[in-house]
């Protein structure tokens, strides 16, 4: 079997002496990038086990980095995930994944990128007996939550899987109000669906949570037999390759070992590739220089595939929550092209020079290429394109947009994904998680923790009169 392809990164569209970078700028940053890489590689959690953490490194949720290799090597958690999700799949045809932020966005990214389009609309056979997946507990939106409850309750009345549903509830802290409230409400509905039998309902629930905390206690109390951990030292938005992302991914029928292998391959590349060939260091170097030297503090991730919109939103959270501290940090923005060329391109082409555009380009589409085709009605003048396919049009749109931006000195960079499959997504997640940490070290910002988010939570609890 041919060895799997790695992501490719090309920053040449950002090389522009007037508004962008020059090759020598990147070369001059190499020592600082090397230091940041070295620092990150030293940040093995073991390093701090017996010593006191320096305040600027507290918290140090570095555990995500080695997790892919560890899970692949140990195998025990992967086997348990496989077993628990197989059992649930045999029993139900719909699963609600409850979680928010880092406990949700990675799983949504995987569903949209790696499963067939319109997955939930497909028949059980077409889904290969994998359940339909819904997401809730990521808001406190009354109508959305009621709508999903109604949908679940109105399923076919049968004891076969087609008539039954289950829950995966994910919360590292076990205390996040959106998820906790949803769990209470969905568990009540599930218990009713199980004829009031809580023990039966609990068999259809898989919790993913920290070892201690309210959700861990509740899960035990109601009798959930299989609970998966969010390991200590792995922060929420860095947890997609733990059970947080792996349990939903296994339910979707995805190959979680390939996902982890993609991440492990990215680790190996990051550790060993020289700076000028290292996609992580190149990406960090170019975005960092454009921000600090050229004021490009809006970082636009232009995904050229609908399937990658949620992956872009996952990165929005990662970057914003990790580096948006101490009045610093670039502002992320995901655009889906060509759709958003019709809503944002005007500003991107002629607006403020405060943006860098990273194109995320899929090299191999999953479905056969769809040709424009011939028609005897040629009033739309499309017969001239009849042999062209949608991928041909997309390639022309990418090239045309890059050329238009280049003519005006707008910096673009290309990140190529070999495909929208598990191995590519594993690489993508790991690349951007490492890049965020390296950039944090370069800026002197601790990428872990999110102290600012606690403020609204505390206010909300006070307003509600909660303990």
- Residues taking part in catalysis: 321, 342, 457
Residue 9 or 64 having the CB closest to ligand PA5? 64
Q: With CB under 6 A as the contact rule, which of the stretches 23-31, 107-115, 234-242, 270-278 interacts with ligand PA5?
A: 234-242
Binding-site size, ligand PA5 (CB under 6 A): 14
How near is the Cβ of 458 to ligand PA5 at its closest, in Å? Answer: 14
User: Tokens at residue 416, please?
Assistant: 């190529």
Q: Which C-beta is closer to ligand PA5: that of 13 or that of 245?
A: 245
Choose between 175 and 354: whose C-beta lies nearer to ligand PA5.
175
Rounded CA-CA distance 440/330 in Å is 11
Candidate ranges 8-16, 101-109, 187-195, 254-262; the one touching ligand PA5 (CB under 6 A) = 101-109
Interface of this chain with ligand PA5, residues 161 to 220, rule: CB under 6 A: 171-173, 176, 179
Site for ligand PA5 (CB under 6 A): which residue of 11, 20, 63, 101? 101
Q: Which is nearer to ligand PA5, 230 or 254 (CB)?
A: 230
CB of 238 to ligand PA5, least distance (A): 7
Interface with ligand PA5 by CB under 6 A: which range of 39-47, 115-123, 232-240, 366-374?
Answer: 232-240
Q: Which residue is nearest to ligand PA5, using beta carbons?
A: 236
Alpha-carbon torsion, ordered 139, 314, 433, 325, to 10 deg:
-60
The 61-100 site mask, x for binding ligand PA5 (CB under 6 A), equals ---------------------------------------x
* CA–CA gap between residue 210 and residue 171 (Å, rounded): 8
Give 381's Cβ-side CA count (13 Å radius).
Answer: 0
Q: What is the DSSP track for 302-336?
A: EESSGGGHHHHHHHHHHHHHHH--TT--PEEEEEE
Element holding 98 (H helix, E strand): strand 94-98
Quick note: the x/- pattern for ligand PA5 over 313-342, rule CB under 6 A, is: --------x---------------------
> Can you count the helices (H) and strands (E) in the chain?
16, 10
Extract the tokens encoding 186. Answer: 């969905």
Which value, to the nearest 10 degrees, does the dihedral of the CA atoms of residues 9, 336, 433, 234 take?
A: -160
Can residue 287 be called a binding residue for ligand PA5 (CB under 6 A)? Answer: no
Name the nearest CA neighbour of 103 among 8, 9, 234.
Answer: 234
Sequence-distant (6+) residues with CB within 8 A of 179 are 98, 99, 100, 103, 137, 138, 169, 170, 171
Binding site for ligand PA5 (CB under 6 A): 100-103, 171-173, 176, 179, 235-237, 321, 450
């Amino acid at each position: 079997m041919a060895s799997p392809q790695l992501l490719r990164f090309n920053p040449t569209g950002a090389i522009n002496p007037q508004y962008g970078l020059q090759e020598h700028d990147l070369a001059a940053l190499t020592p600082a990038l090397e230091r940041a890489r070295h620092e990150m590689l030293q940040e093995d959690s073991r390093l701090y086990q017996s010593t006191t953490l320096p305040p600027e490194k507290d918290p140090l949720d570095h555990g995500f980095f080695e997790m892919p290799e560890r899970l692949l090597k140990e195998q025990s958690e992967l086997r348990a995930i496989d077993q628990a999700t197989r059992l649930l799949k045999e029993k139900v045809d719909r699963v609600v994944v409850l979680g928010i932020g880092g406990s949700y966005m990675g799983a949504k990214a995987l569903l949209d990128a790696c499963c067939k389009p319109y997955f939930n609309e497909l028949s059980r056979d077409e889904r290969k007996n994998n359940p339909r997946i819904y997401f809730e507990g990521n808001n406190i939106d009354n109508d959305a939550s009621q709508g999903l409850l109604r949908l679940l309750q109105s399923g076919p009345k049968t004891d076969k899987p087609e008539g039954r549903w289950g829950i995966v509830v994910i919360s590292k802290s076990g205390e996040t109000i959106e998820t906790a409230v949803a769990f209470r409400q969905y568990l009540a509905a599930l218990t009713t669906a199980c004829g009031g039998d809580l023990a039966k309902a609990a068999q259809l629930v898989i919790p993913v949570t920290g070892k201690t905390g309210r959700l861990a206690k509740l899960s035990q109390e109601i009798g959930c037999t299989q609970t998966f951990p969010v390991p200590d030292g792995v922060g929420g938005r860095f947890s997609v390759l733990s059970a947080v992302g792996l349990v939903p991914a296994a339910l979707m029928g995805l190959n979680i070992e390939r996902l982890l292998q993609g991440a492990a391959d990215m680790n190996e590349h990051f550790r060993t590739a020289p700076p000028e060939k290292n996609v992580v260091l190149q990406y960090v170097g170019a975005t960092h220089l454009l921000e600090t030297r050229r004021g490009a503090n809006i970082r636009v991730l232009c995904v050229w595939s609908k399937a990658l919109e949620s992956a872009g939103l996952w990165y929005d959270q990662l970057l914003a929550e990790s580096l948006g501290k101490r009045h610093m940090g670039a502002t992320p923005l995901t655009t889906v092209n060509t759709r958003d060329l019709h809503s944002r391109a005007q500003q991107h082409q002629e607006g403020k020079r405060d943006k860098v555009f990273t194109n995320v380009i899929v090299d191999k589409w999953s479905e056969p290429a769809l040709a424009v085709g011939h028609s005897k009605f040629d009033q739309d003048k499309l017969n001239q394109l009849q042999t062209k396919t949608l991928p041909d049009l997309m390639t022309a749109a990418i090239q045309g947009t890059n050329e238009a931006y280049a003519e005006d000195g707008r910096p673009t960079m290309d990140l190529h994904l070999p495909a929208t499959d598990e191995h590519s997504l594993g690489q993508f997640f790991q690349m951007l998680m490492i890049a965020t940490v390296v950039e944090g070290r370069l800026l002197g910002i601790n990428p872990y923790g999110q102290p600012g988010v606690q403020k609204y939570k505390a206010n909300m609890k006070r307003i509600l009169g909660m303990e």
